Amino acid sequence: MPAKTSSPDLTQALGSEIADKRIDILRRLGEVGSISQAARSAGVSYKAAWQALETLSNLAGTPLIEKVVGGSGGGGAQLTQAGQQVLQGAEKLAQARSAVLAALQKNTPSDNTAPNLQGLGLRTSMRNNLPCTVHKLQKVGATVRVLLDLGEGLRIAARITQESVQLLGLVPGMHVLALCKATGVKVGLTLQAQDGLNLIEGQVTRVSRSRQGGEVSIQTRTGHQWVGFAPPQSGLQTGMTVCATVEESGVVIALPG
C-alpha cells in the first residue's frame, strides 16, 4: 500500500460505480476483515484482490486498508477511515446515478433514435473508444484473449491478464468499451495479418499529411471511426479503402459508466 500523502484525494477512487469489482472487494473486506475471504466471496483470486486494493489506494493517494496483528485468527485487515469514506461515497454516488438514469430512461424515446450513452463519462488520452460486446474468452498461456464483437461480423481481440478479467467480471455478451491509442494504429493500403495483430478494413475520411507521416481517420463498415497513423509519403487520400492494424496487447477494455 502507498505511504499516506499529505493531501489525499478520495474522489479519484470513486471514478466508477459501486458495481465496480474493486469497490465490491473493498466492501467485502470491511465486512469480513480478511483479504483472502473477501477474494473468495467476490469470486476472484487473492492476487486480483490485492491488485484491486492497491489500485484504489493509489487512486485515493492514501491507504484504504491496514493490517490487524494478533487475535484469535492470527490477524487480518480492516478499513482505514479513508477506506470507510470511499465506501460511503460510492454508495451515495450509486444512489445519485440510479436517480439520473431513471430520469433519462423516462424521457428517452424507445426507437433506434435514442443515443448510446455508454462511455460518455470516460476521460482518456486514447483516441479510439469503441462500444462493443464480449464474444469469447480464450486462455492463452498466462493471459486471456478477449474477442470483442463490434457488429456486422467485425471483431477485434484484446490480450489482458486473468486478474483483469476477474476484476472486470468479463463474460460473453457483456457490453464494454475497447480503447486504443491512435499511435498504436498503423494505416496503409495493404497490411498483412499476423498472429497477435488485429486487422481492420475501412475507408479514409480524413488525412493530415506531414514529413513524419500523417494522422489518418478511417470509417469501418460498422460506422465506427478509427484514428491512426500512416508512414511518410503513404499517398493516402480521402475515399480510399485501406487497412489498419493494432496489436491485441494494445487494446484496453473498459466498462461503460
What percent of the chain has pLDDT above 90? 53
Q: What is the CA radius of gyration of the chain?
A: 22
Angle at 257 between CA 5 and CA 58, to 5 degrees: 15
Task: Select the more confidently predicted residue: 159 or 106.
Answer: 159
Q: What kind of architecture, by CATH, is found in domain 128-254?
A: Beta Barrel (2.40)
Q: What is the pTM of this model?
A: 0.73
Residue 15 pLDDT more than 70?
A: no
CB count within 10 Å of CB 12 equals 13
Most confident of the ranges 20-29, 57-66, 109-118, 177-186:
177-186
* Interval 29-56 mean pLDDT: 92
Residue 42 pLDDT more than 70?
A: yes
Which pLDDT band, with edges at 50, 70 and 90, does 211 fall under? low
- CATH number listed for the domain at residues 10-93: 1.10.10.10
On whether the CB atoms of residues 256 and 122 are closer than 8 A, the answer is: yes
On whether the CB atoms of residues 134 and 176 are closer than 8 A, the answer is: yes
On whether the CB atoms of residues 46 and 36 are closer than 8 A, the answer is: yes
Q: Where do the CATH 1.10.10.10 domains begin and end in the chain? A: 10-93
What percent of the chain has pLDDT above 70? 80
Q: Where do the CATH 2.40.50.100 domains begin and end in the chain? A: 128-254
Three-state secondary-structure class, residue 74: coil
Residue 240 has which C-alpha cell? 480510399
Helix and strand numbers (H, E) in the chain are 5, 12
Residue 206 has which C-alpha cell? 480524413
* Interval 144-158 mean pLDDT: 96
* Interval 45-60 mean pLDDT: 88
